[in-house]
Amino acid sequence: MSGLTSIIFAQAWVLLLLPLLSLFWYWRKRRAYYPDLELSSTAGLGPAKSWRSRLRPILPRLQLFVLGSLILALARPQKVLVKENIKADGIDIVVALDVSSSMLARDFKEDRLDASKRVVQRFVDQRPYDRLGLVLFAGRSYTQCPLTTDHGMLKQLISRVECGLIEEGTAIGMGLANAVRRLQKSQVKSKVIILLTDGVNNSGKIPPLVAVEAAKKLGIKVYTIGVGTRGRALAPIYRKANGSFVFSPTEVEIDEKLLQQIAESTSGLYFRATDEKSLEKIYAQIDKLERSKIEKETFIRHRELYQYFLFFAVILLFLHLILQQTVLRSIVQ
């Protein structure tokens, strides 16, 4: 539920009287130049120097503010309070992200992993009504974030993802099985896994097709994404004792046949991303394919504000009368 406010005037036509205040001001100034009191000579009248004479111009200004406040009160300003009840039939989505060292290949801006993290974070921003989770895999798999609606926390966890935290390898079956496990108890109608990898399944205790069968039984749709340029890319080939990687041009190998089979078996789609721009387009396409059903009920009510302007006008009017009859009293009215 969200609240939106704005100010409107129920009798907006009354605001047309505001320009008349300038005529009133002109009339007051004209009276100042042509007083009703006639004198035979003004030789004895010097410039006004007392504090009372300096304050006397306040009186017509107070009258102006009184009239302006009354006009605004008559126009009936109102605060519009809009409330929305949002009912969303959300989708549970788990992103299974490959974090093997090959994801540091520099055929993307910076590297594949950094590009993937940026795109996934933007994808999270587009899913305000869905629960999302994050599973990481390399030689084995673990859950970085379970299904959650706290997207701020999820984005923080995505930003902390690094290569080298899990033993080396590409256990696609383990990553998929872990993601399926995250969705096993989900009660929503639509359950989706987005699996992203840049390699070939070469480790893990669970074969990919076994994980696919589990996904099919639970009605989970799997979108698979292969990331990496076609041909050769500058990729890490081994790691030094100090933890840094040595890079060398390496042939890009992605098991596209397996990824296609996983997607087709679960009524999903397979995509190939060769750069960050194409990866962003893939996530945008998935975002369009998997939309949450949202129903909005809008309630509008008005809160009257005229009493504040009326109260202000009365206060100024009393102030004007007090000043006029006391410290600023004059024989010329």
Residue 290 has pLDDT above 90, yes or no: no
Share of the chain above pLDDT 70, in %: 82
pLDDT band at 270 (very low <50, low <70, confident <90, very high): very high
Cα distance between residue 193 and residue 91, in whole Å: 11
Chain-wide mean pLDDT for the chain?
A: 85
- Comparison of pLDDT for 302 and 102, the residue scoring more: 102
This prediction has a pTM of 0.65
Rounded mean pLDDT, 279-296 = 83
Give residue 245's pLDDT: 83
SS3 at position 149: coil
Rounded mean pLDDT, 174-201 = 94
Residue 173 has pLDDT above 70, yes or no: yes
Share of the chain above pLDDT 90, in %: 47
Q: Where are the beta strands (DSSP E) in the chain?
A: 2-9, 77-89, 91-98, 131-137, 141-148, 190-197, 220-227, 232-239, 245-251, 270-273, 293-304
Q: What is the pLDDT of residues 93-133, one digit of tens each?
A: 999 999 999 999 999 988 999 999 999 999 999 998 899 99
Give residue 49's pLDDT: 58
Give residue 43's pLDDT: 54
SS3 at position 303: strand
Beta-sheet pairing, 232-239 with 245-251: antiparallel
- Comparison of pLDDT for 199 and 332, the residue scoring more: 199
Map out the domains of the chain as residue ranges: 2-38+45-81+300-325, 91-291
Rounded mean pLDDT, 310-331 = 81
Residue 156 has pLDDT above 60, yes or no: yes
Rounded mean pLDDT, 254-266 = 96
At a CB cut-off of 8 Å and minimum separation 6, what does 98 contact? 137, 138, 170, 172, 175, 196, 197, 198, 199, 227
Token output for 148: 């959650």
pLDDT band at 64 (very low <50, low <70, confident <90, very high): confident
Task: Provide the CATH topology of domain 91-291.
Answer: Rossmann fold (3.40.50)
pLDDT band at 39 (very low <50, low <70, confident <90, very high): low
